[in-house]
Amino acid sequence: MGITRRALLATVPLLGATGARAATEAPVDPVRIGVLTDLSGPYRDVTGPTSVACVRQAAAEFTRMLPGIAIEVIAGDHQNKADIGVAIVREWFDRGGVDMVIDVPTSSVALAVAAVAAEKNKVYVNSGAGTPDLTGSACNANTVKWTFDTYMLAKSTATAVVREGGQSWFFITPDYVFGHQLQRDATRFLTASGGTVLGAAVYPFPETTDFSSYLVQARASGAKVIAFCNAGNDTVNSIKQAREFGLGGPGQMLAGLLASLGVVHSLGLEAGRDLLLTESFYWNLNQRTRAFTSRLLAGSGGTIYPNMAQAGCYAGALHYLKAVAALGVAQAREDGAGVVAEMKRLPYDDDAFGQGLIRADGRALVPAYLFRVKSPPESTGPWDLYRLIATLPGEQAAPPLAEEHCKLIPA
């Protein structure tokens, strides 16, 4: 029996496999990335499945570059509860063979996970949470903070709004840490630019769906800027109702201090028009961001365009894998802090955020872009939502090291 071409071809992958095995002796456990996110609650659409898709995209692209390193991506739902998040992460580290945890929206969960990552000497890349404490009072050598924090949002949006003539402010704030932190940071920057705060309505979180009472108070205050310090569904509901109550007309501005792409998409351009907001990524910024987005949509079969938190999962995972490759898998496994040190040493370079550095405190220095939401006639498609107004360079968008009190930085 002669050798057929098909039989010959079939042996090729086999040869490759034996070659790889010979090099490493035993079958290698893959590098495992755990995406801890909100898969069922209010932050599902602003992080959630699209974050998972972004990490898978990073893994797929990395595998094409360096096929020798096996990667596995798993996902977990923390339900926005710190205890559940910590339990999942401990399980992952102790028994699941997970080497790195990424995303983790909701500040309370994000801070709890940081402590576990340090205790187990694993890698933690946070993209989805807003608290600046991850690189401040709660910083550690195993944590990298990508994408954004309340400092960046407040500085970019509040300063720009005052510059545009929005002198007097009224806040609508949810009664929990994130809301208070965002309002505090925004107040700091708007007063520094010469603005004043006329009042704030603090509403019970998370059980509020009707914002009319607070909006009527906002209207009665006569403030020129109504600022929303909330996120996710709350932002959608409150801005929608603000329009209904005639707020944001001529001479009055609405500012969404954490409104991301999905939120604006849910709002619709009619309700969201002219809203000022800050993100560190937008799919239509440049050639590279467009290329990343079309690869992601094609690769995942998804229809939801990524926002900054989700793109941060792609960039963070890709940069992590590069650091793992530089150190070698075995060494990277052993020492999470070593991988993070390598991540800080290597400049990051990806299609979503471009090129930049990670600072000693773990903060990725990504630029902050100020956008204005387009009006319906300006928009050419369902995801054509933003117009770029201003850019804040990465060094200025991150909290100054001197103010952070991070123990990694010698005072």
Partner 1 sequence: MMMILGYPAPLLFGQLLLGLINGAFYAMLSLGLAVIFGMLNIINFAHGALFMMGAFVAWMLLNYLGIGYFPALILAPLIVGAFGMVLERTLIRPLYKLDHLYGLLLTFGVALVIEGLFRNAYGSSGMPYQIPAVLGGGTNLGFMFLPNYRAWVVLVAIVMCLGTWLVIEKTRLGALLRAATENPAMVQAFGVNVPRLITLTYGGGVALAAFAGVLAAPIYSVNPNMGTSFINVVFAVVVIGGMGSILGSILTGFGLGVIEGLTKVFYPQASSTVIFLVMVIVLLARPGGLFGKAA
Applying CB under 8 A, the residues found at the interface with partner 1 are 40-46, 48, 175, 201-204, 207-210, 212-214, 216-217, 219-220, 232-233, 236-237, 240-241, 244-246, 262-263, 266-268, 270-271, 304
* Alpha carbon distance 343, 5 (integer Å): 46
Based on CB atoms, which residue is closest to partner 1, 99 or 234? Answer: 234
Q: How many C-beta atoms surround the C-beta of residue 9 within 10 A?
A: 9
What is the nearest approach in angstroms of partner 1 to the Cβ of residue 259? 11
The angle at the Cα of 114, spanning 112 to 117, to the nearest 5 degrees, equals 115
Residue pair 189/182 in contact by the 8 Å Cβ criterion: no
What is the nearest approach in angstroms of partner 1 to the Cβ of residue 295? 22
CA distances from 210 to 34, 80, 238 (A): 36, 22, 8
Based on CB atoms, which residue is closest to partner 1, 334 or 378? Answer: 378
Residues 231, 233, 237, 243: is their CA dihedral positive or negative?
A: positive
What is the nearest approach in angstroms of partner 1 to the Cβ of residue 226? 14
Strand 100-103 with 123-126, pairing:
parallel
What is the nearest approach in angstroms of partner 1 to the Cβ of residue 339? 33
What is the nearest approach in angstroms of partner 1 to the Cβ of residue 331? 40
What is the nearest approach in angstroms of partner 1 to the Cβ of residue 262? 6
Tokens 């409104």 belong to residue: 259
Based on CB atoms, which residue is closest to partner 1, 7 or 216? Answer: 216
Based on CB atoms, which residue is closest to partner 1, 270 or 378? Answer: 270
Based on CB atoms, which residue is closest to partner 1, 249 or 400? Answer: 249
Based on CB atoms, which residue is closest to partner 1, 24 or 40? Answer: 40
Q: Closest by alpha carbon to 188, among 157, 234, 220?
A: 157
CA distances from 40 to 19, 79, 382 (A): 44, 7, 24
Tokens 């800080």 belong to residue: 344
